[in-house]
Amino acid sequence: MNWSRKMRRKHGRESTRKLVDSRSVLAFDVRQVPKARPEMPKLTPEERQLTKLYATFATNVWRLKRQILDAETGEPKEGFERVARYVTSMEGALEDAHVKTVDYDGRPYDEGDAVKVITFESRADLKRDEYVETLLPTVQWTNAEGKMTLLQMAEVVVGQAPQKEDEQKEQDNGTEHD
């Protein structure tokens, strides 16, 4: 029997519960507690395998594209024109399956993005914090109802711009009081 059932049996279904913490007694109204996020639908083993396949395929197409295209022009490197057509075809197949990859290179860093930051690097050439390298892209799939599902979270390196003197002083002052 779980804890909440024991408490309901012992104290009834009153809306205010008291929880004893080692430091204090907390009271809250159970009606005001936000409901947990809805659970993701359970995937069958076949569906789980298919989503892994989508993520792996999309990631490898993304890697291949990065290898054969010139970063500045976006055109295929010399000798890779035919391979570029195959990659374009594979990207079309992913698009038809509603699978999208997101590359974060050059975008401003946002703490709210669903990415795994591998490391932060101090970079004197930057004016703002931004993603300087995407190690793995985000892979998303949109189902027939239009609901987007994250298949793979991106892994990135974030470049940090040098702090201005005023910001550095504020940060130094703030850390002295903590």
Average pLDDT taken over every residue of the chain: 79
Q: Measured between alpha carbons, how far is 54 from 140 in angstroms, rounded to an integer? A: 9
pLDDT value of residue 3 = 47
pLDDT value of residue 2 = 52
Residue pLDDT, tens place only, 80-102: 999 999 999 999 999 999 999 99
Residue pLDDT, tens place only, 129-156: 999 999 999 999 988 888 888 999 999 9
Least Cα distance to 138 among 100, 109, 112 occurs for 100
Give me the phi and psi of 121, to 5 degrees please: -120, 135
pLDDT value of residue 165 = 61
pLDDT value of residue 72 = 87
CA distances from 65 to 71, 112, 140 (A): 10, 27, 18
Residue pLDDT, tens place only, 23-77: 344 444 444 545 444 455 577 888 889 889 999 999 999 999 999 999 889 899 9
Higher pLDDT, 6 or 15: 6
Confidence grade of residue 107 (pLDDT, cut at 50, 70, 90): very high
Q: Which two tokens stand for residue 174?
A: 């703030």
The stretch 120-128 carries a mean pLDDT of 92
Q: Quick check: 101 and 137 in contact, CB under 8 A?
A: yes
Q: List the chain domain ranges.
A: 45-166
Eight-class DSSP state of 163: P
pLDDT value of residue 178 = 44
Higher pLDDT, 155 or 165: 155
Eight-class DSSP state of 31: G
pLDDT value of residue 27 = 45
Least Cα distance to 140 among 87, 108, 94 occurs for 94
How far is Cα of residue 130 from the mean position of the Cα atoms in its chain? 15
Q: Quote the radius of gyration of the chain (alpha carbons, Å).
A: 25
